[in-house]
Structure formats: C-alpha cells, structure tokens
Structure 1
Amino acid sequence: MLKKVCVALGISLMIGLTGAAAHAQDDQSLQRIKDRGTIKIGLMLDFPPYASSGPGNKPDGYDAEVAQMLADYLGVKVEPVITTGPNRIPYLLTDKADVLVASLAITPERQEQVQFSNPYSAASMVLLGPADIVVDSPADFTKYKIGVPRASTTDIGVMKIAPEGTDIRRFDDDASALQAMIVGQVDLAGTSTVIASEVQKRHPGKFEIRYVINEQVMGITMQKDRPELEAAVNAFLKEKLADGSLDQVFEKWLGTPLPASVHAASN
C-alpha cells in the first residue's frame, strides 16, 4: 500500500513539474505581441518626472520614453494602459497589460507574484517634511503622522522599520500624500528623492529630507513563465545600457546620471 502511495505521489509530482515546464516552453507571449503589432504597457501618470500626463493627456516622462524605446526595439507600437500604484500588478496579472514600465521596485514580496527584468532605474525612498522636524532614527517616527502612497515601496519600507504605534496614513498616490504634508494633514510624507526635489523647488526653504529609508532598483515587470518576453526585455536593456541611450534618457528627465546600482545589477 505504501509503495502504491509513493508511486502515485511521484507521478503527481512529475506531472506537475512537466506541466510547469511545458507552460514555460509553450510561452507565446512575445509572438502574440509581434503578431498583434502592439505591446500593452502599463504606465502611471502621477509620478513625475518618471511618469506624468503630457500633451493630449498622453503618458510622459522617463517611464513613457523607456516604454517607447522598448516598443521600437520589438518593432511594435505602444498601447498605453494607464495604471495607479495599487492596481499596477492586478492589471498585469489579469492581462490588461503585457508589461509594466511603472516605476515598480524589485522586492522579494513582489517577486513571488511577478517576473522582473534587470533594473532600468533606481531611486532612494525618503521622508520629506518641514525643516524644523527632527528624525534621527525610526524611533522618532512615533512622534509624527507619516503619509505614504498606499501599497508603494515607501509604504512597505516605512512599515518594516516603524516602531509599534507609528501613525501611518495611506493615500492613493504620491501627489495626495505630499499634498497632505504640504497642508499639514500629516507631518512627513514618504516619496523618492527626485519627487522630494521637485517639492523643494516649488516651496523653497520649507521642506527638507528628514530621513532616508532605502534605495530601490526598479524593473520592467511581466507575468511569470514568460521566458521569451523576459529574454527580449533584458536584451533590450543590455543594448540600451551599453550604447548609453538609457543613461541619456534618465539624465534628460531626472537631471542626474543613471544610478550606478542599475549598471552594477545588470552586469
């Protein structure tokens, strides 16, 4: 009896492994994109200068330009799919988008759900607030109300280091969290250094980076078991990093060199 059970379990395991391997081998996602002549790319509009609404309400910014470069590389047209921070991954997993070029940081939690390319961008996550607020360590978080974009890497980063009792307020996007900080609804807002710099330019002398949470590299995102699509996206990034065009586009939009961590992670 025991022998029969072991044999049955072995057969089930082999079938499962064979099915998974066959699914990967039968991946037609890249060919479907080429046959269709378009690639559905998830893009945000509320994360300038990475992503914003340009002329004609079309996606603009670093992510949008990288998306266009990817489509050109594949020989297809971009079909923009507008997403928000919280619905980026759900849109991908329900086939509303083929890939995301949506400033999605690579984290272990997300890697359980989706497949990331090699990095194409990076940003430091920080807490921005009035110049008179002092934050020497996470222990000081409990003194303040902290606003973060819901389900963002800033949200996750703050949660990981915040002491129990920290008052974390969640908003739909970066703009809402920052506006809450500007009008005094919260004391600190979690965002990237790039966006923090834009706020500081608009409100000279009022706000400063009070704490650096972490640095995150970002990847172009697709569903798991898409090996041909993943290989094509990584080949695209390798070429654009080697010829310097990705560096040029990053500096064009963000005014700083592409972080060394992007090059290092791709080598």
Structure 2
Amino acid sequence: MKKRSIYGLLGLALVLAITGCTGTGSSGEVESSILTKVVQSKKLKVGVILSYPPFGFKDEQNNPQGYDVDIAKELAKSLNAELEIIDLDSSSRIPAIETGKVDAVIGSFSRTYERLQKVNVSDPYSAASEKMLVKKDSGIEQVQDLNNRKVAVVKGSTNQAVTELAPQAQLAYFSNSAECVLAVKNGQADAFVEDESFLAYQAKLHPELKVAGDPLIAPLYQGIAVRKGDQEWLNYLNFFVFQMNTQGTNKSLYTKWFGIDPPYKLNPQY
C-alpha cells in the first residue's frame, strides 16, 4: 500500500509537471502572459498585412509603413519595447498567433463568431463600411444611381450590396482593387464599391475621384488579435486602444493616412 501511495504521488507530480509545461491552468487561462514576456525582453512582434495600403505596405527602402504599422509603433512605445513587424497575409494571421510567431496581429482583423473561437480580439481601433468611388463630375450620389451604370467589382467578390440595392447595375469584373480604381479613372466603369477607408485613401491619391453615398452595409470593427486565454495581455491591449481613442492619437493617425476623420465613434461608454 505504501509503495502504491508513493507511485501515485509520483504519477500526480508528473501530470502536474506536464500540465505546467502547457502554459495553461485548469481554467484555461494562460499562466505566463505575453505582456510579462514583452516587458521583460523589451521586444514586441506584431503581424501586419504589408500588401494592403494604406493599412500596411513597404516603401521604396522596403520599410514597413501604413496606418496599422503606426498603431503597432504606438503599442511598442507604450511598452518601451523594440518593434519587429512580421509580414502576414489574411490566411496566415490566426496561425501566426496560435504558433507564437507573433505576439499580436494588427491587420484589418474584425471580430466574428468563428474567429473568436480561435483567438481573442481587443476593443476596436478602426471601423469601416462600404461606399462608392466615383468621378467628381459623375452625378452619382447614392447607390440607386448605379442602376443602368457600369460598376467595377473584383472577381470572386459577392457584390451583395450592389446587386440588392441597385439590381439594374451592370457589373464589370476586374482582377483586383487597383484595376477597379483605374477603371473608374479612365471611364471603363462609373463606380467602384469597396471598403470606405480604402476608397478614402484612393480619393486622397486621385483628386478627380471622390467617395460618395451612404454606407451600404453595417460597419465592421477591427481590433488587435491575440491568443486565447491570455486575459492579462488582452486587458492591456483594451486599455491601450482606449487611450488611443480617447486621447486623439488614433484620430490623428487615421487622418494622416486616409485624409478624413474616422467615420465611426469608437470610444467605449462607461
């Protein structure tokens, strides 16, 4: 009996040791927070999509630039940490978080039921709906004006807002967003429907174009994505976003890159 008790205690100790190595306790909470790691190492790794200007891109010297990059820089500054930007695409964002390749993702990451089953997402720092990009002299002011007009759309997109709100619109398909913008500029299309923040940036680059109409869909809110279970890190990021929103830093960065004030209020109400 004594030997069995000793073996039982040894077995329990081994199980506890293995459980401790996973980094999570019985409640599923992460025992060692990324916040602690970043503060101690003074290094922060943030994933950003560097192929979606002006949110993220590389300049002529191959340096990361953009709105999301500037948000990451502000986060690193708040932590007194050295920032490393990791270039991601849309499909690699969640795996990069799950494998620990990055400490956080700042890359047009909106909250959905499916995503929140895999990662946590902070309070929003950005929000956007869809609007229309048109020539300033086009006479197009609302989505119904697209009936019997050519509307540039990206191949493979759903175009649900256009087909439902302007069923007589003539869809002209192009390979990517850049081609759609060019189509509006050269007269191949009368309008292009896309994320209003992206369109605001295009209108800033091309003075002959403007963003027109009311929002076509409910706004999507983007936050900072992190691994599940690390409530301490998530709490810090929520406070960081709160400070950015209430102190005007976020508004300044948004205006810098998009040329307009943020279209939606983000400040939490307490």
Note whether the superposition's TM-score is higher than 0.5. Answer: yes
Task: Check conservation: 2:201, 2:259, Cα contact below 8 A.
Answer: no
| Structure-2 residue corresponding to 1:41 | 46
Question: CA RMSD of the aligned region, Å?
Answer: 3.8
Q: Please, which of 188, 198, 206 is the counterpart of residue 195 of structure 1?
A: 198
| Structure-1 residue corresponding to 2:106 | 101
| Structure-2 residue corresponding to 1:117 | 122
Call closer, same or farther: CA 1:205–1:246 in 2, change over 3 Å: closer
Give the letter aligned to residue 229 of structure 2. Answer: D
Task: Check conservation: 2:46, 2:106, Cα contact below 8 A.
Answer: yes
Note if 1:232 corresponds to 2:240: no
1:160 Cα deviation from its structure 2 partner? 8.5
- Secondary structure of the corresponding residue to residue 221 of structure 1: strand
- Secondary structure of the corresponding residue to residue 115 of structure 1: strand
Note if 1:220 corresponds to 2:224: yes
Note if 1:84 corresponds to 2:92: no
Give the letter aligned to residue 121 of structure 2. Answer: F
Q: Give matches, 1:161-180, under 5 Å.
A: 174-175=177-178, 178=181
- Specify every segment of 5 or more residues in structure 1 that has no aligned partner in the other structure, as ranges: 1-18
| Structure-1 residue corresponding to 2:144 | 136
Task: Write 1 or 2 for the structure with the bigger share of helix.
Answer: 1
- Specify every segment of 5 or more residues in structure 2 that has no aligned partner in the other structure, as ranges: 1-23, 165-169
Note if 1:24 corresponds to 2:29: yes
| Structure-2 residue corresponding to 1:8 | none
Task: Check conservation: 2:203, 2:210, Cα contact below 8 A.
Answer: yes
Cα deviations across residues 157-204 of structure 1 (Å, max 9, x unaligned)? x468967xx9897967x4466567778999865422232234345556
Note if 1:75 corresponds to 2:80: yes
Task: Check conservation: 1:129, 1:210, Cα contact below 8 A.
Answer: no
Q: Please, which of 249, 252, 269 is the counterpart of residue 248 of structure 1?
A: 252
Call closer, same or farther: CA 1:29–1:178 in 2, change over 3 Å: same
Task: Check conservation: 1:52, 1:59, Cα contact below 8 A.
Answer: yes
* Alpha-carbon distance between aligned partners in 2 of 1:35 and 1:171, rounded to the nearest angstrom: 46
Call closer, same or farther: CA 1:128–1:38 in 2, change over 3 Å: same
Whichever of the two has the greater Rg, that structure is 2
Call closer, same or farther: CA 1:127–1:224 in 2, change over 3 Å: farther
* Alpha-carbon distance between aligned partners in 2 of 1:240 and 1:26, rounded to the nearest angstrom: 28
* Alpha-carbon distance between aligned partners in 2 of 1:65 and 1:206, rounded to the nearest angstrom: 26
Task: Check conservation: 2:152, 2:174, Cα contact below 8 A.
Answer: no
- Normalised to the residue count of structure 2, the TM-score between the two structures is 0.68
